[in-house]
Structure formats: structure tokens, C-alpha cells
Structure 1
Amino acid sequence: MKNCLKDPESLKTAPVIAAGLIGGWQIARATGIRPIGGAVLAAAGVLAGRSWLARKGAATTAGLGAAYLGAFGLSHPLAKRIGPWPSVLTVTATAAGAAYWFGDRN
């Protein structure tokens, strides 16, 4: 069977990170089943991590992975202060920007 995943070295991870954070939140919100949103979040993180590891190595992968998980964690208390959409968009912009800057740029 042919591998259906894109070559990890050519995948742009910033959009994957954005899709994981926004998509995971929206799916959890729409279904009312938080673990489904968590599965989307996890799948995007694994896909991005695969690319970071292939291109940038373990240290960058660990740092960007921590930033991704940190953004998810920070979105919850931030939402209490500024609202859910502004919170998710803020942490997504930060995490996707870091993914682009440290993971996607040549």
C-alpha cells in the first residue's frame, strides 16, 4: 500500500498547527465530546512533529511540541479573560507563527 502521508520534509506545519488548535476546539464544541477535539489536536501535533523531527531535529521538535501544548493549555484561562474566539485565535497565531519561524523556514 502506498504511503498516503506527504513527505515529512515538504509539509508546511504552520497550517497543520492552526488546523489542530482551531479545528480541535470547534469539533469539541460542535459535538460536545471533548476527546474528539483532543484527537484532532493530537493528530495535528503528531503530523507536525514528524516533519519537525525530519527537518530540524529532536530539540526543535521538543520545543515546538511544548509550544503547541502550551498554547492549548493557555487558551483555557485566556478564554475566561478575553473570550473563547479571541483566545483560540491568539494562541493559534502564536503557535503557528512559532511553527513557521522555527520549523518551516529554510
Structure 2
Amino acid sequence: MKNCLKDPESLSTAPVVAAGLIGGWQVARATGVRPIGGVVLAAAGVLAGRSWWARKGAATAVGLSAAYLGAFGASHPLAKRIGAWPSVLTVTAAAAGAAYWFGDRN
């Protein structure tokens, strides 16, 4: 079977991170089933993590994975203060920015 995933070293991870955070939230919201949103979040995280590991090594992959999961966790209390959309967009911008800065750029 042919590998259907893009070469991990050529994948731009910032959009994947954004898709995982925003997409996971929207899937959970639209279906009313939070674990399905978690599957989207996890799939994007694994895809991005695979690229960070291949491109930058274990330390960067662990750090960016922690930032990704931290953004997800921070969105919940932040949403109580500023609302759901602003919260998700804020943490997504931070996580995607970190993914670009530390994982994607040469």
C-alpha cells in the first residue's frame, strides 16, 4: 500500500495545528460529542508531531506538542473570560505561531 501521508519533513505544521484546534472544537460543537472533537485534535497533533520529530528532533517535538496541548487546555478557562471564539482564535494563533517559528521555518 502506498504511503498516503506527505513526507514529514515537507509538511507545514502551522496550518495543521490551526486545523486541529479550530476543527476539533467545531466538530465537538457541531456533533455535541466532545470525544469526536478530541479525535480531530489528536490526529492533527500526531501529524504535526511526526513532522516536528523528523525535522527538528525530539526536544522540539515534545516542546511543541506541550504547547499544542497547553493551548487546548488554556482555551477552556480563557473562554469563560472572553468567549469561545475569541479564546479558540487566541490560543490557535499562539500555538500555530510557535509551530511556525520553532517547527516550520528553516
Structure 2 partner of 1:29: 29
Within-5 A mapping of 1:74-89: 74-89=74-89
CA distance in 2, matches of 1:81, 1:12: 32
Q: Counterpart amino acid of 2:102?
A: F
Residue 96 of structure 2 corresponds to residue 105 of structure 1 = no
Residue 15 of structure 2 corresponds to residue 15 of structure 1 = yes
Structure 2 length as normaliser, TM-score?
Answer: 1.00
Structure 1 residue 85 displacement after superposition: 0.1
Structure 1 residue 50 displacement after superposition: 0.2
Deviation track 1:19-68 (CA, whole Å, cap 9, x = no partner) reads 00000000000000000000000000000000000000000000000000
Structure 2 partner of 1:66: 66
Which segments of 5 or more consecutive residues in structure 1 lack a partner in the other structure? none
- Give % identity: 89
Which segments of 5 or more consecutive residues in structure 2 lack a partner in the other structure? none
Structure 1 residue 103 displacement after superposition: 0.1
CA distance in 2, matches of 1:101, 1:15: 13
Give the superposed CA RMSD. Answer: 0.2
Partner SS for 2:25: helix
Q: Counterpart amino acid of 1:28?
A: A
Structure 1 residue 87 displacement after superposition: 0.0
